[in-house]
Amino acid sequence: MWFVLVTGFGMLWSALAVLAHLRRVKRRPDDPSVPAKRALLAAAVLATVSYALAMPPFTSLLHVDGVWLNWPMIMTLGNSTVICVHMFYLFSVEERATAVRIARREWLIYAVLTTAVIALFAMNPTASDYDITSAGRYQAGGPGDPFAAVAYILSMGFSGTMNVVVCRLGWRWVKKAKGTRWLAMGLNTNALGQIGGLCMVLHSVSYNLALLFGIVPSWTQNVVETPIKGIAGLLTMLGLSATALSLWIKNSRLVVWAHANQARRRLYPLHQRMYAAFPSIVVDPPPSSALKDFLHVRDASRQLGDRLVELWEGRLRMRIPYGTRAVAGELARAEGLKGPALEAVVERACLEVGFEVARTGTEVRVELSTADEASRLTRQGEKAAEVRWWQEVHDARKSPVVAQIRTRAPELIRASATSGAATS
């Protein structure tokens, strides 16, 4: 039952992967994600074929002159599948040069190991260990051939190692993909499948070690491994499908627009205040209310870009009274804040005092314009980082530190007021 279910799902997955790959390459032949998609396509096809070879009529067709050819084919294709899954992750997470270097090393190691496994198989290719039908040792039990036991241990040991490698890389990707729920679900589902595969490997290696030393367990190998292999295979295929689907969803026009529109709307209150203080910074005046801004849904990406540029322009024109940053930093640290949270609260506190200075037109001795957070964003050079930063600054408006600085704004302005021109 498990093999039928997994093979059926694998055939569907393979067909969808092939169609998606061909469509993507035709539309965007220079797409940098093509290597990852090809690795996923290869994994889908190899997994389906390896599962199918364990089912009739292939078990009979590949039994030629007493030689069980399907066993080395299944082992070779199964381990190749795990390598392709790892390559899919590598090309999705790592730089291409790094991914290629690691993949080449893995294929070289696997080529040497496969040669050894096939050599062991050739020692006694008619052994019942390789017969995966109900008459074979895998299902019927009994003593095993020592060459076959070593072949099992080498092949399954490599598979278990790759299960661990794929799990670790998948969890690293989950940490990088915070906030992308579908992607995290897909990665975690595949990780569960890899853990199931590792459990099967541990049983297989232990079972064949026992046979190698003349100990015949009282249960058959397939009783434990077949259900685990079916569940693990299904979870792996579901996880990879969800991961691939989430990447497509993440990069689809609708989701890109939705993220840009949400970020644009979240920045509206802060942008509106900046516009009120410095009207000349904007290209097009923002809507007069949050409701009108909510209803303005066209060109979200362009509007978000304009809003970011205008926020930075207003920030550069803002005159923050000297000493404000130090006072705000001291209050924030007293509240136990640190890292990005502290920086956002301090920046929001400075902005509140700066808005007051702009409103009153008071000449003040100002803070240096090269703020720490600005240089941090310049080093990162990412639009997403700027969006996150300004959203954090916007959310910090409710901080008690900001409330205290807002109350002390007149005091801070008087302390830095000058009769002449302000300095920077």
Q: In this structure, which amino acid lies at residue 302?
A: R
Mean pLDDT (whole number) for 389-398: 87
Range with lowest mean pLDDT among 252-256, 319-323, 350-354:
252-256
**pLDDT tier for residue 370 given thresholds of 50, 70 and 90:** very low
Round the average pLDDT of the chain to a whole number and report it. Answer: 80
For residue 16, the model assigns a pLDDT of 57
Range with lowest mean pLDDT among 76-90, 170-184, 204-218:
170-184
The per-residue pLDDT for range 72-112, each reduced to its tens digit, is 998 999 899 889 888 888 887 777 888 889 999 999 999 99
d(CA 347, CA 211): 68
d(CA 359, CA 94): 49
| 341 vs 241: which has the higher pLDDT | 341
**pLDDT tier for residue 162 given thresholds of 50, 70 and 90:** very high
For residue 379, the model assigns a pLDDT of 46
Q: Is the pLDDT of residue 115 over 80?
A: yes
Half-sphere exposure of 240 (CA within 13 A, CB side): 35
For residue 421, the model assigns a pLDDT of 42
67 three-class SS: strand
Instruction: Let me know the angle formed at the C-alpha of 342 by 289 and 322, rounded to the nearest 5 degrees.
Output: 80
**pLDDT tier for residue 419 given thresholds of 50, 70 and 90:** very low
Q: In this structure, which amino acid lies at residue 283?
A: V
The per-residue pLDDT for range 398-408, each reduced to its tens digit, is 889 889 988 88
For residue 175, the model assigns a pLDDT of 72
Range with lowest mean pLDDT among 90-94, 147-151, 171-175, 248-252:
248-252
d(CA 77, CA 334): 60
Going by C-alpha positions, the residue among 240, 242, 248, 243 that lies closest to residue 47 is: 240
For residue 215, the model assigns a pLDDT of 93
The per-residue pLDDT for range 17-66, each reduced to its tens digit, is 555 555 554 555 455 567 777 787 788 778 778 877 877 777 888 888 88
pTM for this predicted structure: 0.58
